[in-house]
Amino acid sequence: MKLYNTLTRQIEELKPQAVPTVTVYTCGPTVYDYAHIGHWFNYVRMDTLIRALKANGLEPKWVMNITDVGHLTSDGDEGEDKLERGGRREGKTAWEVAEFYTKDFLEGMKALNISEPDNLVKATDHIPEQIDLIKQLEEKGYIYVIDDGVYYDTSKFPRYADFGQLDLDEQQAGARVNFNPQKRNVSDFALWKFSPAGHQRDMEWDSPWGKGFPGWHIECSAMSMKYLGPTLDIHTGGIDHVPVHHTNEIAQSEAATGQRFANHWLHSNHVTANGEKISKSLGNGIRLQDIAEKGISPQAVRLHVLESHYRSQSKFSWDSLEAAKNRLQDLKALAVLRWQARPTVGDSATFALEDVPLELKRIVADDLNTPQAMAFLSQITGQLLTVLIENDMVVHFETMLAGIDELFGLGLMDMPDITDEQKKLLADRDQARADQDWAKSDKLRDELVSQGIGVRDTAQGAIWFLL
């Protein structure tokens, strides 16, 4: 299996350390607000990675974090904790905000049929591990303490700028006037922030350096290494994490362990709407709830994500989502052919059906090329909706559907058969058409439509599909 590696800026063969196990860490949500469509693009893509690994005979051990403390409103370690700000916005405690939006995120994961990680870990449940990691860095001389917290000295890690291809001299020269003068370097980042004097935060803990809370970056390092070891096979996240969050993870993790932190880095590119990156700060963060209100299912959202490549900058629009909804309708019509097999006439090309999942797996193994996979699937769908399914093809057809579901999570095998009463309506309509009683035929069609069943007339007879 080949994937683009941000570390080397090239597509490489994936080489797990302990085949068949492959360790994967994904930067999860900061639960101070609803996840938006840009976030969901990322998580569907990460789920596709997990599914592709399994399809290629590997056994992923997947860890995703929940950031429920420590993510400040600025990457420069300025401003307030997003959870504290969320609590003030909603008149709740930071703990209540974290619980509410964590629950909402998990419901979104389920709705989008995103696989459940082996470990879904919260930052607030791993404070001791984070403190221990900071202690290791202290023992090795990488930290210093100033008035507002404990900081990592990036000048002591010579490779700091390599991953993000950063120009630190330019950063230093362009530092804002209000840059913290106690920091040794503009790129230094907080490992532990002190609670403000005279103020009790909702979320704060004792530490060897003083009462406070962890920095965002230390959380991912501590939790990923606890569950997956000092070197990860794959670390994933959004491309916006490259210059700061993931750069800082590498610096603190490798300084502590003396080993490479991750062998392979996979990043999902931005999603734009009207030419702007989708983000909460810009106020264009469309939620799953907003999409559902327009009658568009999570399955259609998932298909829309799969139609773009994870490394390309994707464009979101309501028109494109509506188009995905229509393409999903074709796939659903394909799926229910399993309930409408015709008598076998001559030899049927059953071997081609079993080849479909193999070809899709081959395509996706080439750097998760889901757009090409969706184009191929669309081609197969069009062919099968024309020739239909014969009795001796059903087992092979179901194998094909199951293979598609395992790789893309579209739930095609879950599409139900219609009831005996509805089948009687179809039969009555066929008879009305044979009798050329078009008024009765149209009436029966309308009745089926009112029950959510569409009808398509073919040379082999009427085919139903779910609306």
DSSP per-residue letters across 150-197 = EEE-GGG-TTTTTTTT--HHHHHHT--TT--TT-SSTT-EEEEEEPPT
The two structure tokens encoding residue 185: 């370097």
pLDDT at position 5 is 97
pLDDT at position 177 is 43
User: Which residues 6+ apart lie within 8 Å of 61 measured at CB?
Assistant: 21, 22, 23, 24, 118, 227, 228
> Is the per-residue pLDDT at 28 higher than 90?
yes
Least confident of 158-172, 210-224, 296-310, 415-429: 158-172
Distance CA 206, CA 84 (A): 18
| For helices 127-139 and 216-228, angle between their N-to-C axes, nearest 10 degrees | 100
- DSSP strand pairing (461-466 vs 262-268): unpaired
3-state secondary structure of 146: strand
Q: What is the mean pLDDT of residues 26-43?
A: 95
> Is the per-residue pLDDT at 274 higher than 80?
no
pLDDT at position 172 is 64
Q: Between these two residues, 70 and 360, which has the higher pLDDT value?
A: 360
* Contact of 321 with 291, CB cutoff 8 Å: yes
Specify the DSSP element, H or E, that contains 230.
none
> Is the per-residue pLDDT at 283 higher than 70?
no
Task: List, for residues 85-97, the tens digit of each pLDDT value.
Answer: 899 999 999 999 9
190: nearest Cα among 157, 154, 136: 154
The two structure tokens encoding residue 412: 């095609």
> Is the per-residue pLDDT at 197 higher than 70?
yes
> Is the per-residue pLDDT at 293 higher than 60?
yes
Distance CA 187, CA 75 (A): 10
Average pLDDT, the chain: 92
Task: List, for residues 314-373, the tens digit of each pLDDT value.
Answer: 888 899 999 999 999 999 999 999 999 988 876 555 558 889 999 999 999 999 999 999
Q: Between these two residues, 279 and 195, which has the higher pLDDT value?
A: 195
* Contact of 37 with 301, CB cutoff 8 Å: yes
Task: List, for residues 109-165, the tens digit of each pLDDT value.
Answer: 999 999 999 999 999 999 999 999 999 999 999 999 999 999 999 999 999 999 998
Amino acid at 449: V
Amino acid at 17: Q
Query: pLDDT band for position 284 (50/70/90)?
Result: low
pLDDT at position 178 is 53
Give the global pTM. Answer: 0.93
Q: What is the mean pLDDT of residues 207-217?
A: 95
Q: What is the mean pLDDT of residues 375-399?
A: 91
Task: List, for residues 222-240, the tens digit of each pLDDT value.
Answer: 999 999 999 999 999 999 9
Specify the DSSP element, H or E, that contains 132.
helix 127-139
pLDDT at position 70 is 87
Q: What percent of the chain has pLDDT over 90?
A: 79
